Amino acid sequence: MPTALQIGPYRFYFYSYDCGEPRHMHVDRENMSAKFWLDPVVSLAENHGYSRKELRDIEKTATENLEILRNEWMLSAMVTFTLPRIVKVAVTDDTLSVDLEDGRTVLVPIGWYPRLSHGTPAERTNVQIAGAGFGLHWPDLDEDIGVEGLLLGKRSSESPESFERWLQKRK
């Protein structure tokens, strides 16, 4: 993401994928970095190398420029993110491979998805591209994985209790 504000040696910015978090800014100088929340007031979230005095100075600068920083955040949050569709999928004993329409191939371990890792080879290969191309569905395993989660590197969020119930039903 481009720089939202440059004041002295400090570069205020945020990553394009940060919009899933509350409003905040990263502030870098040389090999140091800090993260500040912008709501309800400027407050330190993370520090990597700055002294306490310098953090106070950065917080003061951010507070003085709070409206600019908040506006930059809001403008970037309005950018739409278009997900690519899935065009091909393959599952091996240890890997889920997904080819996307934009030419990328995403490879993740099936261990990220316990239902896949506990499925038989036949159950794992019975996969359907679903959701207009934005998801995968395994009817034999009752597993669904979206392209967004794959791109973000998200593992299954199924609770241990839910997974255990599913395992019990398979016996």
Q: What is the 3-state secondary structure (H, E, C) of the chain?
A: CCCCEEECCEEEECCHHHHHCCCEEEEEECCEEEEEECCCCCEEEEEECCCHHHHHHHHHHHHHCHHHHHHHHHHHHCCCCCCCCEEEEEECCCEEEEEECCCCEEEEEHHHCHHHHHCCHHHHHCCEEEHHHCEEEECCCCEEEEHHHHHHCCCCCCCHHHHHHHHHHHC
Residue 50 has what pLDDT?
96
Annotated domain spans of the chain: 5-77, 86-170
Residue 20 has what pLDDT?
67
Query: How does pLDDT run across 47-89, given as a tens digit for each residue?
Result: 999 999 999 999 999 999 999 998 888 777 655 567 899 999 9
Q: Which residue has the tokens 């996307």?
A: 100
pTM: 0.57
Q: Domain spanning 86-170: which superfamily?
A: Uncharacterised protein PF10387, DUF2442 (3.30.2020.40)
State the first-to-last Cα distance of the chain, in angstroms, to the nearest integer.
50
Token couple for 167: 């395992």
CA distance 50 to 97: 42
Between 106 and 134, name the one with better pLDDT. 106
Query: How does pLDDT run across 2-28, given as a tens digit for each residue?
Result: 788 899 999 998 876 666 678 889 999
Q: Could you tell me which residues are beta bridge partners of residue 11?
A: 6, 28
Residue 77 has what pLDDT?
63
Q: Which residue has the tokens 């600068």?
A: 61
Mean of per-residue pLDDT scores for the chain: 89
CA distance 169 to 171: 6
Q: Provide CB contacts within 8 A for 141, sequence distance 6+.
A: 115, 116, 119, 123, 124
Residue 111 has what pLDDT?
94
Residue 159 has what pLDDT?
87
